[in-house]
Amino acid sequence: MHGNPASTTVHTEQYRVGKGEQGVLICEPYKSEIGQYWRFKTSEIALESSNKIYALFATYLAAHEFVGADMARKYLQMGYTRARRYANYKGGKKYDEQNNYRQLERGTGDQEKAEAAKMFYQKWKEAEANEMYANMKKKWKHERG
């Protein structure tokens, strides 16, 4: 499914699950394979994106590529968290860089992004609930971290 491992930033054998979305942007080729589909501008775009990323998740699982599956799960989670940030804060900016990084007022964001977040949330939770994925994740964390 993927290209030359020598061109990766982090090789799959070095991959660590980490917490949440941690590491989502460091492991090639999965970063490029999945990231090209990651979009949340509207709920329709988010639905298409989350479905495509979940399909990649399923493909990686079927091929026993845990790293790819975990990266896809992270992109689904990141779709949810980023869309929620844009739903909560105008322009997706949570902190005021001009004012000592004080937290900006919540509730000023784009409601369309709240709908987009729902699309990603469903697929993220579906991925996490997948029994094969859960078993692979447990084994990977036990053996490699």
For residue range 30-59, list pLDDT tens digits in order.
Answer: 899 999 999 999 999 999 999 999 999 999
The whole-number average pLDDT for the span 114-122 is 96
**Stated length of the chain:** 145
Contacts of 42 (CB under 8 A, 6+ apart): 112, 115, 116
Predicted TM-score (pTM) of the model is 0.81
| Residue ranges per structural domain of the chain | 24-144
pLDDT digits (tens, 9 = 90+) for 63-115: 999 999 999 999 999 999 999 988 888 777 777 677 777 776 766 667 889 99
Looking at residue 15, its pLDDT comes to: 61
Tell me which residue of 78, 81, 67, 86 sits closest to 11, measured CA to CA. Answer: 67
Distance separating alpha carbons of residues 88 and 121, to the nearest angstrom: 16
